[in-house]
Structure 1
């Protein structure tokens, strides 16, 4: 019986910005990240106006960035358990 593919618990998004600054934010799904990226970053990539960066795992904290200052984005799937608990019978 084939095993079901592992599903990430969340996606860690690393923003690398001008001046060497790095920030990490988390998205519950890759689709949530893609929606934010395509609606906020892509259309405003050359803008110096601030945009909101969602920080859902930290209450009462907000982050804004200038899209033009983002040099690179790294997306990493995070699995909270490295132990495979599925067994073939």
Structure 2
């Protein structure tokens, strides 16, 4: 019987900014990442206006970034372990 592939518990989007800084944004599903990218980021990628990014949704924390200053985006699936590490 074929095994069902594991599903990530979340996706971490790494934004590489000019100057060497890196920002992490967490999403629950890949669909959320795609929607965020297509509707908010890609549409304003060449703009120098500030774009709010949801850094920690549970704390209502946001980061304002100039999309034109983002040099790379890396999307990483994150799997939590079945064993809690303390």
Instruction: Identify the TM-score tier after normalising by the shorter chain.
Output: 0.7 to 0.9
Greater helix share, structure number? 2
**Contiguous gaps of at least 5 residues in structure 1:** 84-89
Displacement over 2 Å in runs of 4+: 55-58
Partner of 1:20: 20
* TM-score between both structures, scaled by the size of structure 2: 0.87
User: 1:29-59 CA deviation, whole Å, 9 max, x = no partner?
Assistant: 1110110101111111110111111234440
Mapping 1:1-40, distance limit 5 Å? 1-40=1-40
Aligned-partner Cα distance in 2 for 1:34–1:4: 23
CA deviations on 1:15-36 (whole Å, 9 max, x unpaired) are 0011111011111011101101
- 2:55: which partner in 1? 55
Give the total of aligned pairs: 83
Larger CA Rg, structure 1 vs 2:
1
TM-score of the superposition, structure 1-length normalised?
0.84
